[in-house]
Structure 1
């Protein structure tokens, strides 16, 4: 397997995990004043289910070169740590998969047969987008396969596709202007609320206030793909070359901060020129050994 693919996907995974761990700190009441002052909360920072699931995505890519849905479902279930902050529906589903349940049936029957339209498929997909950066259409196809393991609602699938394509475009065309970046992503996202939100994010690019952008686009408070992904793409479009600015901008908008920061971190870190801040990395919990992700190169 190409070392370049591994390194590119691992860089995005590290960016995702750091964003996840950073964002998760602001659910701790004592750390909230640090957010308004843009002061780093004390370490150690622990990552959440976002990173745990993203590591399983990375592991399947490294082992198979693409999404093997059965293997991905098994990885999610086997490595599922209840204390990482999973939602109740996902906790139940992964427990049943461990007990021998069919992930296809379990995912499809969620929410009275509508399937989940949550942001879980989008939050974990960044390494996949980096892996397939040389073929954006394939990144979109593989992202859909990865989403369907747990999220069968079309909006959840669209959210995963949008994030994967955003990562692929960031890795392959880092110099694209913000508007063209969002246009390139929207080309691969099926019609629906996620794509409508990306179009609205495109119109809001001249707005500099993340709070206002979040009020217009959503900040993940509803834990839904259409309420999460457009805002994260708005941030990424405006701050793709500055990891710290991107993450602070995401966090100050509130909402599902660990997930929004994980998504933005995974996108921005896909640019080969991006360097994750050393002070932040020193506070962050390392990736699990089973993920097998190579460490980041020294700055």
Structure 2
């Protein structure tokens, strides 16, 4: 079976930061694209039967932003906030399902607005605590998987570009650390794994709900756990991230089962599935990704991989 998603990808050295970040990006894309299909009412019976929707599966803003994160970290081996803000704004496709706050922010950055001011505006100057920074960050966590503390630091920097609220930042930190620890094999003990992610997450609601996820680690019904922890219905980091890390812990070696379990909880399905897919893509690698799913997904944008000029215009860096 030929996969347009896989056919044009680079072949980085095995186990390199590039390779594991690419595996994470592919997992994220599969989760995002399949999860998005279940916003179509006619596909809901398929979800109940765990049957695949008809191809092709387009990806959403989750993947588009993750591709920018991936491209920037491959090029720079760190998060340059000005460059990342410029990349988000330059590649912003309104039709990919962005939320209204980020749509406005990226449009204004393209017009010359300062991202530091724009990202601080929501919620009376606290910044957004949505799940948008968490949904895109797993490949960055995979890149820095040798050093989870560095992964947490870079994840916080990546989050601040659009989500300055401490909870928005904490959600990104938790997902990046989860991807790093999953690649390291630290998820073999689910309770210890979620506890380690919680310990690396800044204090607040995300961390508190990760503690609740530890207490629910033996529960067997993802839908019930999703109702308890939140499955993204409020589109906030606290309402999204703890459940996804619970799923990644419980289904750590079965990518397909993890995505179906995530989708079964409803909520912000493309984003929850993208987060789980990004974490587990780093763990299982390309061989663990379902071939039929790869064949159904829209290819990634060409700009994800080619080298860009050394000098990049960076609107909104003032």
What's the TM-score, normalizing by structure 2?
Answer: 0.90
Gaps of 5+ in 1: 294-299
SS of residue in 1 equivalent to 2:232: coil
Q: CA deviation at 1:97?
A: 0.2
Structure 1 residues 56 and 113 mapped into 2: Cα distance closer, same or farther (>3 Å)? same
CA RMSD for the aligned pairs? 1.1
Counterpart position of 1:280: 293
1:51 corresponds to 2:69: no
Equivalent pairs, count: 292
Residue 79 of structure 2 is aligned with which of 61, 67, 79? 67
Q: Retained in 1: the 8 A contact 2:253–2:284?
A: no
1:234 corresponds to 2:251: no
Correspondences of 1:10-159 after superposition (within 5 Å): 10-159=22-171
For residues 242 and 64 of structure 2, the distance between their equivalents in structure 1, rounded to whole angstroms, comes to 23
For residues 91 and 70 of structure 2, the distance between their equivalents in structure 1, rounded to whole angstroms, comes to 13
Deviates more, 1:255-264 or 1:204-213: 204-213
Residue 278 of structure 2 is aligned with which of 248, 266, 287? 266
Q: Retained in 2: the 8 A contact 1:240–1:246?
A: yes
For residues 253 and 186 of structure 2, the distance between their equivalents in structure 1, rounded to whole angstroms, comes to 8
Residue 292 of structure 1 is aligned with which of 283, 296, 305? 305
Counterpart position of 1:208: 220
Deviates more, 1:272-281 or 1:147-156: 272-281
1:197 corresponds to 2:171: no
Gaps of 5+ in 2: 1-11, 307-318
Counterpart position of 1:297: none
Q: CA deviation at 1:211?
A: 1.3
1:245 corresponds to 2:257: yes
Deviates more, 1:80-89 or 1:107-116: 107-116
Q: CA deviation at 1:174?
A: 4.8
Instruction: Please list every run of at least 4 consecutive aligned residues from structure 1 whose deviation after the TM superposition is greater than 6 angstroms.
Output: none
